[in-house]
Structure 1
Amino acid sequence: MKALIIEDETAAARNLKAILREVEPELEVAATLESVVESIEWLRTNERPDLIFMDIHLADGASFRIFDAVEVSSPVVFTTAYDRYALEAFRVNSIDYLLKPVNAADVGRALAKLRRLTGSQRAEYGSRVGRMVAAQREGGAFLVHVRDRIIPLRPDQIAFCYTADERVWAYGFDGVPYPMDKTLEALQSLLPEADFFRANRQFIVARRAVRDIAVWFGSRLSLALQVETPERIVIPKARVPEFKAWLTAAWPQ
């Protein structure tokens, strides 16, 4: 049996490999990968492993992005530090999930479950996670981390998106910032154009979040939203006509 480990914490990966040697001495670890990008490339160019141990949150984003880029046909065991009660979707769509710090009993249980499955059942588990991620995407929801939970965030819950210091947040109408694993450009392509506008390099705003519009210096516009923003939202002069057309498109004729 060959296993792939996708884990960006060196100590956690080392611990998991040691446990695998203990509970399944004949198992071979094909590779240990640390990022979404590295994992996508490996899965595209290597033979399918019998099992994948996958951390949910990697250094360059959520591991769900792997399923967007490449078909993952191997059964998956998620390893995570997040609360077990938030992981029902992963429990039913994967072989198992292991809460960190991983121990031998949990790994043994996951491997025993894998051994009990027929070939067709293993293939079914291998595709379930991808379908779950696709369903989230097609449904217009984003999977986001909130403290010790993973929740879906729908576009109609987003007041604006904001980027600073190479990080991106989606702010809800409740004023809560949700960390996103996508760039502002990627979010712009995924959010409905009729409902969201790219105001400038740092902001995407929701139509129904706009409370007030003021003329700003240099023929620019300044937006005030229903919720507080980290800084003033200014629409450049060149984008003002497009913004006005977007805003008025939804007004009754």
Structure 2
Amino acid sequence: MNIIIIEDEKPAARLLQRKVEKLGLQVSTLLHSVEESISWFENNPHPDLIFLDIQLSDGLSFEIFEKIAIKSAVIFTTAYDEYALRAFKLNSIDYLLKPIDEEDLEVAVTKFKERNASSASLSLDFDMIKKMLINPVDRSFKKRFTIKIGQQLKMINIEEVECFYSENKGTYIYTLDQRSYLLDYTLEQLETELDPQEYYRVSRKFIIPLKAIKEIQLYSNSRLKVILTSYKDDEVIVSREKVNDFKNWLG
């Protein structure tokens, strides 16, 4: 498998290369600008997979695709905020949010391998993605959830939510009255439905609202532990890779 990385910050490119090769893959080339990338694609066979930073030193990486008909799969690497990332999520496009978490990287690579093995291809409308990133479309966010309890339906307003969590392949909503309900959503789907100004996915297991944070404590290995208003069933830990982004979200 031939893999290249397009990233303008050379230390970040080398770090991503090490993480990719830790998964048993080989990165053949590191590129650092739009101009360099266009020249490379004009003179080399296209790779199987590209890890692509959006903002390069000499412009947006989308300019590469305006010049070259790319035939490779793409996983975006980006520091864009969660609101802009809806452009990717709503169109089933793979991305990795900087700083790149190794578990997220492994999931993205596994998805690529599975899609590649099934010969499924994803046609990317780069013009659409570019427009959505620069001028995100205003949209409403989830205000309530309908929960099935036996033969009845229960309505839960977003104001009643203390957190969302995954457990045993299920996704649950935990409410301020200290009850859990099974949802017909994944955490990935919830990320596209919740206001990113108010909700943050601190880990693979938890999405939490700003209003439910009671306390934040320093934790081992440069991580953070979040104490919620009443949820006590499991520790809510912010991974080391997400700490800076979490702090920025807190404002």
Q: TM-score, normalised by structure 1?
A: 0.49
Larger radius of gyration: 1
Q: TM-score, normalised by structure 2?
A: 0.49
